Amino acid sequence: MVRLTFLPAAIVALAALFVPSEAPAQTAYPSRTVTLVVPFPAGGPTDIIARIVAASLQQSLGQNFIVENRAGAGGNPGMFYVARANPDGYTLLFTSTAIAVNPGLHTNLPYDPLKDFAPISEIVNAPNVLFVRPDSGIKTVADLVARAKAEPDKLNYASPGVGTKSHLTGELLKLRAGISIQHIPYRGGGPATQSLVAGTVQLGSVALAPVEPLIKAGTVHALAVTGATRWYSLPDVPTMIESGYPGFVSDTFNAMFAPAGTPPEIVALLVKEVRAAMQKPEARDAARKYGYQIVAGTPDQMRARLVSEIQGVKELVAKAGIKPQN
């Protein structure tokens, strides 16, 4: 009887050796350092906002988030690098409106903005501003247009460079107002602004942040901002919409993307944490300090904006006669 009861027990014990155990639980994301690739130089506006976001994510997720600058060629090499990175959530893209502008300016991009990236969020955006010297005699956009029509081809405007959103703002104004003014590109918003202050050009079109102190000091006169609404700290400066140009919105966004194919649960976690981070008062204050307003939108909103921006820029480039580069 002892042997009869022992044998089934031994068989059960032996069989248990062959029963597969439960697979070990996957390590929670993130389990190591995450890299945010910024395709522009350190110290620029996109880099600054990326570091604000990285610091907040590091705090909330308990892992290192570092910013890596891969600058050059309008941001294309850096964006290509992320497009080809392992889609595991440890290499992310933090970029500007360049991701939407470059398809209209380059004929052979090494990446597809819509197919190669998974949107996480539009983090912030910032309007451009059209401004003149206080002694120009031009007080409004209507004054500028009247002057340009009275003196065709005699006025010029400065921007931070060909293909920037500020340049495209100037070209959109020309098309919408039916005027002809010459574009003078500079290497950055600072030199473009100084050229106007010195009287080299008659109109400036740059991102608002570096010009705002000059507007408040009376060194330059703002005609309009190009956001959908007036800027919170310049309540007396109208928008282009209020100046008689319906739908005239031309702003610069900063947004976060993952490589296409990143697990949806990782994307969802990043979306949740990024949006929460940007609701903190310190994030809002830091963004405003550098001339941005918080958006913290959803992936669907970012994708919709990207589709719209790419199409709009391509149409504007074609109408303005801007020749795309290879």
Q: What is the torsion angle, in degrees rounded to the nearest 10, for the CA atoms of residue 318, residue 78, residue 211 and residue 53? A: 130
The verdict on residue 239 lying in a domain is no
The verdict on residue 235 lying in a domain is no
- What's the CA gap between 229 and 224, in Å, rounded? 11
Q: What is the pLDDT of residues 155-196, one digit of tens each?
A: 999 999 888 999 999 999 999 999 999 999 998 889 999 999
Interior angle at CA 67, CA 281 and CA 292, nearest 5 = 40
Q: What is the pTM of this model?
A: 0.87
Domain that holds residue 151: 127-225
Per DSSP bridges, beta strands 117-132 and 34-38 are unpaired
Distances 83 to 39, 236, 245, 249, 310 between C-alpha atoms, Å = 12, 43, 37, 29, 18
Q: Which of 207, 225, 243 is the last residue of a domain?
A: 225
Q: Which of 225, 241, 267 is the last residue of a domain?
A: 225
Count other C-beta atoms under 10 Å from residue 241's C-beta: 18
Q: Which of 225, 242, 266 is the last residue of a domain?
A: 225
178 and 146 within one domain: yes
| Domains identified in the chain, total number | 2
220 and 131 within one domain: yes
Query: What pLDDT shows up at residue 1?
Result: 39
Query: What pLDDT shows up at residue 45?
Result: 86
The verdict on residue 88 lying in a domain is yes
118 and 172 within one domain: no
120 and 132 within one domain: no
265 and 180 within one domain: no
The parts of the chain modelled with pLDDT lower than 70 are 1-26
Nearest to 46 by CA among 38, 54, 58, 37: 38
Count other C-beta atoms under 10 Å from residue 109's C-beta: 17
Query: What pLDDT shows up at residue 3?
Result: 43
The verdict on residue 263 lying in a domain is yes
The verdict on residue 4 lying in a domain is no
262 and 301 within one domain: yes
182 and 107 within one domain: no
203 and 271 within one domain: no
147 and 96 within one domain: no
Q: What is the pLDDT of residues 275-303, one digit of tens each?
A: 999 998 988 898 888 889 999 999 999 99
CATH number of the structural domain spanning residue 201: 3.40.190.10
The verdict on residue 190 lying in a domain is yes
CATH number of the structural domain spanning residue 316: 3.40.190.150
* Beta strand residue intervals within the chain, DSSP E: 34-38, 65-69, 91-96, 117-132, 156-159, 182-185, 203-207, 221-225, 251-259, 293-294
137 and 100 within one domain: no
196 and 113 within one domain: no
Nearest to 259 by CA among 96, 114, 126, 118: 118
The verdict on residue 234 lying in a domain is no
178 and 42 within one domain: no
- What's the CA gap between 41 and 203, in Å, rounded? 27
The verdict on residue 314 lying in a domain is yes
- What's the CA gap between 229 and 221, in Å, rounded? 18
Query: What pLDDT shows up at residue 18?
Result: 41
Query: What pLDDT shows up at residue 12?
Result: 40
